[in-house]
Amino acid sequence: GAVVSQHPSWVICKSGTSVKIECRSLDFQATTMFWYRQFPKQSLMLMATSNEGSKATYEQGVEKDKFLINHASLTLSTLTVTSAHPEDSSFYICSARPLDLPNTGELFFGEGSRLTVL
């Protein structure tokens, strides 16, 4: 149990285009999902907390108009990188904490999405 699926695994796009990344909890419900970004050889940086049915909470320094987050259901959150630029190239990882499964509160991560902006 507690499987998180992320799609696409990798994407290459042209500068100025928008890219949508999906994060799904396959066998549990998650009212809260977290979006992280990871640059090479660096740790995960929390971008935002995605709450089902409400607006996402963004971390300081993260542009909410550039990184649009939608949490439309208890099993799906999406991150849209709008008007992508080369500096947005990174590894984006979502995570979720199941509320209806016994666990110690650890996060379950998606496989990650590697974005390359040309």
Partner 1 sequence: GQNIDQPTEMTATEGAIVQINCTYQTSGFNGLFWYQQHAGEAPTFLSYNVLDGLEEKGRFSSFLSRSKGYSYLLLKELQMKDSASYLCAVRDTGGFKTIFGAGTRLFVKA
Chain residues binding partner 1 by CB under 8 A are 32, 34, 36, 41-46, 49, 57, 91, 93, 95, 97, 104-112, 114
Residue 93 CB contacts under 8 Å (≥ 6 apart), including other chains: 6, 35, 36, 37, 38, 44, 109, 110, 112, 113
Question: Least CB distance from residue 93 to partner 1, whole Å?
Answer: 6
Looking at the Cβ atoms of 5 and 82, the one nearer to partner 1 is 5
- Shortest spacing between CB 83 and partner 1, in angstroms: 26
Residue 106 C-beta: closest distance to partner 1, Å = 4
Give CA–CA dist 116/109, Å, rounded. Answer: 21
Type of residue at 21: I
Q: Which is nearer to partner 1, 76 or 82 (CB)?
A: 76
Q: How far is the CB of 16 from partner 1 (least distance, A)?
A: 27
C-alpha dist (Å) from residue 86 to 50, 59, 63, 105, 118: 25, 21, 16, 35, 6
Minimum CB distance to partner 1 smaller for 80 or for 109? 109
Q: Which residues contact 31 (CB under 8 A, 6 or more apart)?
A: 51, 52, 74, 99
Report the residue number, 60 or 87, with the smaller CB distance to partner 1: 60
